[in-house]
Amino acid sequence: MRYVLMASLGIILVPMMISFASVCGDANRNGVINILDVSHVINYLYKSGSPPIPPQSADVNLSGSVNILDATYLIDYLYRSGPAPLCHMVSDIDGNAYFTVTIGTQVWMAENLQVTHYSNGDAIPYITDAIAWSNLTTGAYSDFDNNINNAATYGRLYNWYAAADSRNIAPSGWHVPNESDWLTLINYLGGFGYAGWKMKEAGTMHWYSPNTGANNESGFSVLPAGCRYFDGVDFLSMGYSAFIWSATDHTADLAWNYYFFWQDPGVSHGVDNKHYGFSIRCVKD
The whole-angstrom separation of Cα 163 and Cα 147 is 21
User: Which candidate, 112, 123, 108, places its Cα nearest to that of 167?
Assistant: 123
Quick one: average pLDDT of 257-269?
A: 95
pLDDT in tens, 134-171: 999 999 999 999 999 999 999 999 999 999 999 999 99
What confidence score (pLDDT) does residue 26 get?
95
What confidence score (pLDDT) does residue 29 get?
87
Quick one: average pLDDT of 81-101?
A: 96
Mean pLDDT of the chain: 92
Other residues' Cβ atoms within 10 Å of the Cβ of residue 141: 26
Q: Are 36 and 28 in contact (CB under 8 A)?
A: yes
Start-to-end CA distance of the chain, whole Å, equals 33
Radius of gyration of the chain measured on its C-alpha atoms: 19
pLDDT in tens, 12-54: 444 333 345 689 999 998 889 999 999 999 999 999 888 898 9
pLDDT in tens, 99-142: 999 999 999 999 999 999 999 999 999 999 999 999 999 999 99
Answer whether residue 206 shows pLDDT above 80: yes
